[in-house]
Structure 1
Amino acid sequence: MNHRSSLFLLALASFPLAVGAQPAPEPAAPASNQAIDLSSGAWDGVVNIDVSVLFPDYREPWNAGQPSGGSGTGFLIGKNRFLTNAHVVSNATRILIRTSNDPEPHPAKIVHIAHDCDLALIEAEDAAHFEKLKPVEFGGIPQLNTEVIAIGYPIGGDRISVTRGVVSRIDFRPYSHTSVDSHLAIQVDAAINPGNSGGPVMQLGKVVGVAFQGFSGRVAQNVGYMIPVPVIKRFLKDVEDGSYDHYVDLAASDFPIENPAQAKALGLEGGGVGVMVGDVEPAGSVGEILKIGDVILSIDDNPVLNNGLVRFEGELVDMNEIVERKFAGDVIKVAYMRGGKKQEAKVTLKRFDPYVRLGAQYNQRPRYIVHAGLVFQPLDRNLMDAHQIRDSTVNYVFDNFLTEKLYVERPEPVVLTSVLPDEVNTWITPYAHSIVDEINGVKIRTLKDVETALANKEKPFIEIRLEDKNRPLVLKRSLTESAHPRIMQTYNIPAASYLGDE
């Protein structure tokens, strides 16, 4: 993801809106007494976060990367525990925090980070400087048309900024940090500017959200979003055991059943209950349970309405919200209809890993293999963005990785991303930006397979077959082995490969 002057994510206008979880309380007139009393000092635990960042280099993955920096906001939630956005501290090499009453910067470090819900916990390396600060208290989900206050350090300023706004929508929508995850979010018309990210949004003296993204001025005016308390509390609950286990997912899509004739044909009894399963991921939580065409009737005894909503904790929310609040290994009950017969199943929830590859990833070194000047890398969004690949086959694999279930046969597609010119690989440059299918008869399903295939030196030639290429790429093994040290020195490559931490 491209760097910004401050670590603030702009929600893209092209993001589709999911079926909303929009409570319908009686509208309350906005009033100043519904927000916090600014004389209460509620912002004492709000800190400015300065971050030095090292962006990974996916074009030359053996390099350290591109240094940069940014700023954001965080706030104290417990003893030496500050909550902020994941995007504020992603790829950080140094973190400094300071309060408005103390200009001295204090080093801090990441304790837990959750990119899928854009939240992170950091702590000061010396907690003594913050012992007298009072942690905030959390509230609940604010009602529509009530006033909230966003507190932070927008545009990298040195002093606290306070802006007021009104809650205008409560919705299930995309989080732009990874570009693939969607969770509950609250829309407000308070100014959410670069640098506000990670700051508290408060009402009645309690935190009701974390500011995290907004629309650009070309799309909408005065529209910002905050991460609500249910998402925050789920993150904090997840990390209680010392590690973050990520969100779980049913990994199935659905369609509304709003046509009366269709409902009758499916054997539904009326009442506006039931959504049809449109697709099921084989590696997902319900991969061996549900089938396309099944009708989901309820989740944990909560009836699923024909528009995909359920009444949960007194409010109408997207049915995924029930799963959202569960954890890896939790079991839920799903009632469904197949062939006119009602059935029930217990579903053990888990993370759907293939989905992660389609989103932006952070805090990790790019993996690669260099051999005879040929650079092999696993396909993911970071790679696509860095190389700006236009090859139709590579784009097809990336765009249809889930929809065509390509991950089943090839869980980690490998791309020949570049060819470092040398006499041993003359005339091979046009092969760059191609999916690697086989190397000496070994089917390439992951980057590890490339290492295995190249390590086998029984054959005098290295034959590489690329997806959608009519002829193989062939190198003479004796020449590649003699050229390898020369290429490594010429291009200043310290290691021929990095396959990830053990």
Structure 2
Amino acid sequence: MNYKYKKKKIKKKISDFSQGLKMAHKQNKAGTLDRAIPVNESLERALGACVKVYVTCVEPDYTQPWSVFLEEECTGSGFVVRLSEEKLVIVTNQHVVASATEIRLRKYGGVQKYRAMLALSAHTADLALLDVEDANFWKDMAPLKLGALPRLYENVVCLGFSFPGENACVTRGIVSRVDTMSYVRGAEELLVLQVDSAVNSGNSGGPALDDSGCVAGVAFSSYAGSADNIGYVIPTAIVHNVLNDYLSLLSTIHQAAKKKKKLRWAGLCNLGLGVQTCENPAFRKRKQMSLDQTGVCINRVARLGCGHAAGICVGDILLSIDSIAVANDGTVPLRNSERVGCEHLISSKRIGTQISLQILRDGIPLNLHVTLSPLPRLVPLCDGFDAAPSYVIIAGLVFMSLSAPLLSALSDDDDDDDDDDTENKVDLRYLADVLDADKADPETQIVVWTQIISHDVNHGYNGLCRRLPRLRALNGTPVINLAHLAFLAGFGSRKLKSNDTTPPQNEFLEFDFISATGCANTTVVVIDTKLALAAEKDILRRSKIPEPFSYDLGPLLRKYQLPLPKEEPEQPEEKTEQQPAPNHSTPDTTDQPPPDQPSDNKKTTKKNNRKKSRSRRNQNQNNNNNNNNNEESAHA
């Protein structure tokens, strides 16, 4: 009975299915079949707030800093959020609009591409805010709401415009991990969400939604290894901080518009401290830590950091941050049993926030209050933010300031580069300590010798710049930065002319180099100054280099040459005052006008000089007559 019953039931299902197919076939012929796939209403609203970003960019060439790469076009994603009651902005990734010369946006389901402008760039947070002046773009635009930090195993939906293709792409996954990482190599660590939904090329800048339709984060990266379906999302807490920073900067937007300056994001907060774990029992005993005390040992304090300003010293034990205990491995609790690095408690806060630190110094607990601020870096990290392809060329020697983009351009860790020019590549392993070095003075830069333009004047020095030697001094004067080097080379007081006969101040140009890591081994390069001046024009012409130094060094160069114009005009005036009065055979030049006097006063000065010369002639004639009369009377 059971077997016959199952058989009849299966036959009935097959007949129902066949009838459904016949009905669909009839509707298809009549044109009444609805082919649209049912979509969740919240998802449809979220897609309406997404835009596709079209970027035309021109990236600088750090290997040849006087030139740029060819113009390229790339695409990304973005979404609309509410900045204030009257203002909407578009959120995307900074790496999507990096080095952009033109930005255009296309709405979901639209055709027209609207021109956008970059409102704010948060480089180390990999976030950017865009704005559109055309009011038609904002019509029927419903902004997305920013949600909270999702929990593990919660669903997320990543929206974006992946490449290739023009339509929106929707991928679904779960939150597989919450951790900390640096969004930019060498930058501060921030919270990050790891999801198993695909984040393909073009999805960068798109929203990741939770089950309620709110934004859980911004998709910005995918795993570059062999694993599949691993993406990373920026949490909304970081987005909130960037939006609030932009609101605080909007108060100065009118002054910035008058000065034709863009709004500049200050950066992430950083205490400027280096830490060491306290997991060894002997180490904890040596630092006088009790059994119930946990923390990390501070082994580096940056001089320009806010931690140094608060009084933190090397050897102190950091016990807690805002009453949150720091474990011996440097982690802090996040939620329930999750733990992340303690650095995110600092980097996730806004500039000017005051926090409390509890430290242990010589066994005595101390409470310190710190006002958070960014940390100036000795080696800049991001092009257009704190790094630039500035250069100075002296006798064919090309000098640049050490930066992360320069190291990336000259490094040999690019797997896609299969050329044979490996001798000119730089190994980053021996420069790891330099990347984390602290800045002792705000104007200090690491000036390195990057390459040489071969010429007879620099013959024999070709192989000395392969490991980026650091320029320590020029003719015995320590070099502070690139602008100071240009000043020492005389670029601020002379012009490149073939008939320039001005004698150089020094017979030789003596460059003292040390290794980029600061080791004691030195290299000396000596070049004849007259030959360098004579060959400079030819060196620039052969390599099609417009100027011997980059244009952005001009304002900085004036800083070092300010006292020169004041001292030069005073010297001839003091000499003329000490000269004796002219005799009858030499004309008087003390009353002549200076060469920069206006031409309208030349006639009056000529008349006065003529009157004075006539009066002197009359006085001379009278003196001669008196002398003759005295001689005649004496003779009589």
TM-score (norm 1): 0.84
Identity %: 28
Task: State whether structure 2 residue 506 is matched by structure 1 residue 473.
Answer: no
| 315-324 or 201-210: bigger deviation | 315-324
Provide the residue aligned with 1:277 in structure 2: 298
| 202-211 or 420-429: bigger deviation | 420-429
Q: Secondary structure at the match of 1:198?
A: coil
Task: State whether structure 2 residue 353 is matched by structure 1 residue 318.
Answer: no
Task: State whether structure 2 residue 156 is matched by structure 1 residue 148.
Answer: yes
Alignment of 1:244-393 (within 5 A): 244-259=265-280, 262-263=283-284, 266-271=287-292, 273-287=294-308, 289-311=311-333, 317-354=340-377, 357=380, 359-362=381-384, 365-388=388-411
Please state how far the C-alpha of 1:393 moved relative to its aligned partner: 10
Give the 3 Å change call, closer, same or farther, for CA 470–111 of structure 1 in structure 2: closer
Please state how far the C-alpha of 1:101 moved relative to its aligned partner: 1.5
Give the 3 Å change call, closer, same or farther, for CA 266–385 of structure 1 in structure 2: closer
Provide the residue aligned with 2:548 in structure 1: 496
**Counterpart-to-counterpart distance in 2, 1:127 and 1:372:** 55
Provide the residue aligned with 1:18 in structure 2: none
Q: In the alignment, which of 230, 242, 245 is matched to residue 238 of structure 1?
A: 245
> How big is each residue's C-alpha offset from its partner over 1:121-176, in whole Å with a ceiling of 9 and x where there is no partner?
0112423222221111111011111111000001142101111100111111222x
Q: Secondary structure at the match of 2:198?
A: coil
- The count of corresponding residues between Structure 1 and Structure 2 is 465
Task: State whether structure 2 residue 182 is matched by structure 1 residue 182.
Answer: no
User: Which segments of 5 or more consecutive residues in structure 1 lack a partner in the other structure?
Assistant: 1-34
Please state how far the C-alpha of 1:402 moved relative to its aligned partner: 5.5
Task: State whether structure 2 residue 216 is matched by structure 1 residue 208.
Answer: yes
Whose Rg is larger? Answer: 2
Please state how far the C-alpha of 1:474 moved relative to its aligned partner: 1.7
| Contact persistence 1:258–1:272 (CA under 8 A) | no
User: Which segments of 5 or more consecutive residues in structure 2 lack a partner in the other structure?
Assistant: 1-38, 250-263, 413-422, 494-503, 516-520, 556-636
> How big is each residue's C-alpha offset from its partner over 1:281-321, in whole Å with a ceiling of 9 and x where there is no partner?
33322235223332112222333233333356887553222
Give the 3 Å change call, closer, same or farther, for CA 403–350 of structure 1 in structure 2: same
**Counterpart-to-counterpart distance in 1, 2:302 and 2:42:** 50
Provide the residue aligned with 2:591 in structure 1: none
Q: In the alignment, which of 452, 463, 473 is matched to residue 419 of structure 1?
A: 452
Please state how far the C-alpha of 1:465 moved relative to its aligned partner: 1.8
| Contact persistence 1:334–1:347 (CA under 8 A) | yes
| Contact persistence 1:302–1:312 (CA under 8 A) | no
Provide the residue aligned with 1:485 in structure 2: 537
Q: In the alignment, which of 436, 442, 445 is matched to residue 480 of structure 2?
A: 445
Provide the residue aligned with 1:220 in structure 2: 227
Q: Which has the higher strand share?
A: 1
Give the 3 Å change call, closer, same or farther, for CA 183–139 of structure 1 in structure 2: same
**Counterpart-to-counterpart distance in 2, 1:391 and 1:208:** 45
| Contact persistence 1:178–1:360 (CA under 8 A) | no
**Counterpart-to-counterpart distance in 2, 1:284 and 1:194:** 37
Provide the residue aligned with 1:86 in structure 2: 94
Q: Secondary structure at the match of 1:400?
A: helix
| 278-287 or 189-198: bigger deviation | 278-287
**Counterpart-to-counterpart distance in 1, 2:320 and 2:485:** 45
Q: Secondary structure at the match of 1:103?
A: coil
Please state how far the C-alpha of 1:466 moved relative to its aligned partner: 2.0
Q: In the alignment, which of 93, 98, 116 is matched to residue 124 of structure 2?
A: 116
| Contact persistence 2:50–2:80 (CA under 8 A) | yes
| Contact persistence 2:161–2:203 (CA under 8 A) | yes
> How big is each residue's C-alpha offset from its partner over 1:193-243, in whole Å with a ceiling of 9 and x where there is no partner?
111100000111111100001113x43221111000111111111222224
Please state how far the C-alpha of 1:186 moved relative to its aligned partner: 0.4
Give the 3 Å change call, closer, same or farther, for CA 275–465 of structure 1 in structure 2: closer
Provide the residue aligned with 1:164 in structure 2: 172
Please state how far the C-alpha of 1:386 moved relative to its aligned partner: 2.1
| Contact persistence 2:49–2:108 (CA under 8 A) | no
Q: Secondary structure at the match of 2:488?
A: helix
Please state how far the C-alpha of 1:374 moved relative to its aligned partner: 1.8
**Counterpart-to-counterpart distance in 2, 1:144 and 1:37:** 25
Q: Secondary structure at the match of 1:246?
A: coil
Give the 3 Å change call, closer, same or farther, for CA 409–38 of structure 1 in structure 2: closer
Please state how far the C-alpha of 1:435 moved relative to its aligned partner: 2.0
**Counterpart-to-counterpart distance in 1, 2:424 and 2:446:** 14
| 254-263 or 64-73: bigger deviation | 254-263
Please state how far the C-alpha of 1:395 moved relative to its aligned partner: 5.5
Give the 3 Å change call, closer, same or farther, for CA 380–398 of structure 1 in structure 2: farther
| Contact persistence 1:401–1:407 (CA under 8 A) | no
Please state how far the C-alpha of 1:259 moved relative to its aligned partner: 4.8
| 79-88 or 312-321: bigger deviation | 312-321
**Counterpart-to-counterpart distance in 2, 1:36 and 1:261:** 60
**Counterpart-to-counterpart distance in 2, 1:397 and 1:436:** 18
TM-score (norm 2): 0.67
Give the 3 Å change call, closer, same or farther, for CA 499–275 of structure 1 in structure 2: farther
Provide the residue aligned with 2:51 in structure 1: 47
| 485-494 or 395-404: bigger deviation | 395-404
| Contact persistence 1:277–1:291 (CA under 8 A) | yes
RMSD: 2.9
**Counterpart-to-counterpart distance in 2, 1:388 and 1:317:** 31
Q: Which has the higher helix share?
A: 2
**Counterpart-to-counterpart distance in 1, 2:40 and 2:378:** 40
Q: Secondary structure at the match of 1:464?
A: strand
| Contact persistence 2:379–2:402 (CA under 8 A) | no
Letter in 1 for 2:532: T
Please state how far the C-alpha of 1:392 moved relative to its aligned partner: 11
Give the 3 Å change call, closer, same or farther, for CA 268–103 of structure 1 in structure 2: same
Task: State whether structure 2 residue 508 is matched by structure 1 residue 461.
Answer: yes
Give the 3 Å change call, closer, same or farther, for CA 264–394 of structure 1 in structure 2: closer
| Contact persistence 2:43–2:213 (CA under 8 A) | no
Q: Secondary structure at the match of 2:552?
A: coil
| Contact persistence 1:369–1:375 (CA under 8 A) | yes
Give the 3 Å change call, closer, same or farther, for CA 236–178 of structure 1 in structure 2: farther
Letter in 2 for 1:474: V
| Contact persistence 1:210–1:227 (CA under 8 A) | yes
| Contact persistence 1:75–1:82 (CA under 8 A) | yes
Provide the residue aligned with 2:464 in structure 1: 431
| Contact persistence 1:278–1:293 (CA under 8 A) | yes
Give the 3 Å change call, closer, same or farther, for CA 68–179 of structure 1 in structure 2: farther
**Counterpart-to-counterpart distance in 1, 2:471 and 2:378:** 21
**Counterpart-to-counterpart distance in 2, 1:237 and 1:36:** 32
